[in-house]
Amino acid sequence: MIDPCEVFYASKGMNDELVSFFDSININQVLKDAELVERILGRPIVYARPTEELLTELVRELSAKIIPIDARVNVGWLEQIYNSYLKDLNWTSLTEEQVKAKRDYLRMIWNKKVSELLKTKLDASARLQDCIKHCSQRYNLYKKTKKALQSQRDKYIDEIISDMKILFYIYSGRIMQDCHYGRGLLIKPNFPKKRILFVSGSYKSDVDALYNMSSGQLVSLSIAFLLTLNKLYARSPMIAIDDPVQTIDDINLWGLIETLRHDFNQHFLLLSTHEQDYSQLLRDKFLK
């Protein structure tokens, strides 16, 4: 009886290799896959037809169900998610309502996280705006204070120069008797450049006379400036000058001596020099 059966199955193409193949198939998995294909196609599979015809039809219909993937979709990332979380799901028991419910839940979580992140960003933006406002107020206060201080400084310098300019003009003219600028120099502030100018001739001039003076004339000008300050603001009637003979011209020395004799005759004068002849001359002049 066995021999006729073997002949029958052999005539149908059955052999040991094909039998081993069927034995290796997981029939439960095959049934699950078939059920999944039916769900995708939306109809039952009709098996009563040649295998090649059935396979060709299934491939054609399944290919038509494929939805093109946007090029911006990260397929590798989706595969990683599938392998990590979705691969072991029981797709046969999964319903569309469950997917929608899960999608709505994930949207809720996403919206919550986005809202929290937005609130954090808005709070940080508000703090930053407060900081900017505070810094702007401080900066405006600084500019206002700076402007007030500059105004007070300029006003103070202008008052000092106003007190000094006439007396300085007289003293500089007396000491620098050979100066080609005339009897004396005028003093004026230059606020944009934050300096003091010594000008000759017209008070409107902006040319500093210091650039056209000799070293002896510069020393004479410095002494005239210091004598002016001493005359106006000194609390003690004392003047000390170290070796004026060596640093100024002879004609300027005579002007200095005459200025000290007549305008500072009530002061205690201390003049030093290493030249004996001039020392005797100074003593004689101040003793007259």
pLDDT tens-place string over residues 37-67 = 888 888 887 776 777 887 888 888 888 888 8
Residue 92 lies in a domain: no
pLDDT tens-place string over residues 169-186 = 888 888 887 555 556 788
* pLDDT at residue number 122: 94
Instruction: Among 26, 43, 67, give the residue marking a domain's end.
Output: 67
Residue 78 lies in a domain: no
- Tell me: do 283 and 157 sit in the same domain: yes
Residue 59 is classified by DSSP as H
Task: Determine phi and psi for 183, rounding to 5 degrees.
Answer: -75, -30
- CATH number, domain containing residue 215: 3.40.50.300
Torsion on CA atoms 276, 277, 278, 279, rounded to nearest 10: 40
pLDDT tens-place string over residues 120-166 = 999 999 999 999 999 999 999 999 999 999 889 888 888 888 888 88
Q: Which comes out higher in pLDDT, residue 210 or 114?
A: 114
Residue 43 lies in a domain: yes
Instruction: Among 52, 67, 82, give the residue marking a domain's end.
Output: 67
Structure tokens at 150: 């500059």
* pLDDT at residue number 118: 94
Residue 95 lies in a domain: no
pTM above 0.85, yes or no: no
Residue 261 lies in a domain: yes
Residue 275 lies in a domain: yes
Residue 249 lies in a domain: yes
Residue 259 makes CB contacts below 8 A (sequence gap 6+) with: 171, 174, 175, 227
Number of domains present in the structure of the chain:
2
CA–CA dist 188, 171 (Å, integer) = 16
Strand, coil or helix: what is 169? helix
Pairing of strands 268-272, 238-242: parallel
Residue 131 is classified by DSSP as H
- Tell me: do 61 and 158 sit in the same domain: no
Render the burial of 4-39: b for 16+ CB within 10 Å, e for the rest. eeeeeeeeeeeeeeeeeeeeeeeeeeeeeeeeebee
- Tell me: do 56 and 171 sit in the same domain: no
- Tell me: do 54 and 163 sit in the same domain: no
- Tell me: do 160 and 261 sit in the same domain: yes
Q: 271: part of which helix (H) or strand (E)?
A: strand 268-272
Residue 23 lies in a domain: yes
Q: Which of 245, 254, 233, 251 is nearest to 274 (CA)?
A: 245
CA–CA dist 130, 149 (Å, integer) = 28
Contact 224, 171 (CB under 8 A): yes
Domain assignment of residue 34, given as a range: 17-67
pLDDT band for 88, please (50, 70, 90 cuts): confident
